[in-house]
Amino acid sequence: MNPSLSSRIETFRNRMADHGIDTMMVLVEENRRYLSGFTGEDNGYDESSGVLFITQNKLLLATDSRFVFQAKTEAPGYDIYGYKKGLAAELPDILAQLNTQILGFEPAKLSVKDHERMKQSLDASGSSVKLAPISDLVESLRIIKDEEEIDIIRRALAITEQALQNLLPSLVPGMSEKEAAWLLEKKLREMGAEGLSFPSIVACGVNTAKPHAHPSDHLFTTRAPVLFDWGIKLKGYCSDITRTFFLDKPDGRFMEIFDVVKTAQERATAAIREGVSTKEIDSLARDYIKEKGYGDFFGHGLGHGVGLAIHEAPRLSPMQDIPLKSGMVVTIEPGIYLPEWGGIRLENMVVVRKDGPEVLNSTTVEEFLPQ
């Protein structure tokens, strides 16, 4: 087991002890990977490629026959338990092996249906194990990235940006949003992406006023904004970026709104440092957009954490007020969305450092504008 994993597990065990549990059942895919290195993916909310059981002196990864070999290869230090009747049915045997009295679980992942199955299985076996929901035990570790994690995100973002730069000459009037999205995904995978960190948002014209637009048959023109919001996964870590531009020289209205969004982003980014609150960072951008008369057209939060998941803590929004800490990786993505015209969003990725921000992007927001 590599030193990073060993350190994570040691810290995690200390936090388990603080919560008074002797065994933690780790169900969330990203948390499982963070604590074991196992890359098995869950294909649906009701499917799992494996579960970690962590005690103060034992590590066990339970999975089915599809993933046993992979688990043995990717999770050194873990005993591998291959269940044949399903996790709930074999849970009493697993917990008996671990001498479990109190089993912590992640309520964000365990459905009511599966919770009932597990409880019924334990009751039927005569087990006295108590089930205890424990939230954010791993997420509170993942929120701070080490330098190895940050470097992977930096490399993922570099591929992400370069792919659109390479694609720009192919973006022409008459191309559909769907076609552009496919060409971008193809380019990203050719450049080394393991996959997309989320379905790419490609929009043009009035569709750019939809913050989470789905690529459609709508066609690009030279006189309307084009918005790309895209990202990749590299070694499990996500990138996330948004750029809005014209295929031809942008008009005055576009540049007016673009400059407001750009300045809002710059003001928020400049204030990022350890100790500043997420709500304060959001307010710096939001208040400026309101000052310029567009306050009613910026409805979403300013940004979010990014790591093994595309959306994770912390959230930069009016509704969350927590201090930033060095090593957090966040997006700064203000936007203005006018339903009858279109929208502009600009998004960068930033590392929180003790004395200020480190912008991970290698491109500026202006570089995609035709000169």
CATH of domain 147-359: 3.90.230.10
pLDDT given for residue 219 in this prediction: 97
The rounded Cα 142 to chain-centroid distance in angstroms is: 11
The CATH number of domain 3-142, selected from 3.90.550.10, 2.60.40.10, 1.20.1640.10, 3.40.350.10: 3.40.350.10
Q: What is the mean pLDDT of the chain?
A: 96
Strand, coil or helix: what is 149? Answer: helix
CA gap 107, 104 in Å, rounded: 9
Integer CA distances (angstroms), 23 to 74, 102, 234, in order: 22, 6, 31
CA gap 233, 215 in Å, rounded: 20
Q: Does an H or E element contain 71, and which?
A: helix 68-74
Strand, coil or helix: what is 335? Answer: strand
The rounded Cα 24 to chain-centroid distance in angstroms is: 23
Q: pLDDT band for position 46 (50/70/90)?
A: confident
Q: pLDDT band for position 310 (50/70/90)?
A: very high
pLDDT given for residue 44 in this prediction: 77
For residue 3, pLDDT beyond 90: no
pLDDT given for residue 64 in this prediction: 93
Give the pLDDT mean for 323-344: 97
96, 78 Cβ separation under 8 angstroms? no
In 3D space, the residue among 29, 25, 31, 27 whose CA is nearest the CA of residue 5 turns out to be 31
Residue 314: is the preceding peptide bond cis (ω within 30°)? yes
CA gap 248, 57 in Å, rounded: 63
pLDDT given for residue 229 in this prediction: 98
300, 265 Cβ separation under 8 angstroms? no
Classify the phi-psi angles of 363: left when phi > 0, otherwise alpha if psi is within -120 to 50, otherwise beta. Answer: beta
In the chain, CATH 3.40.350.10 covers 3-142
191-212 residue pLDDT tens: 999 999 999 999 999 999 999 9
| Residue 231 amino acid letter | G
In the chain, CATH 3.90.230.10 covers 147-359
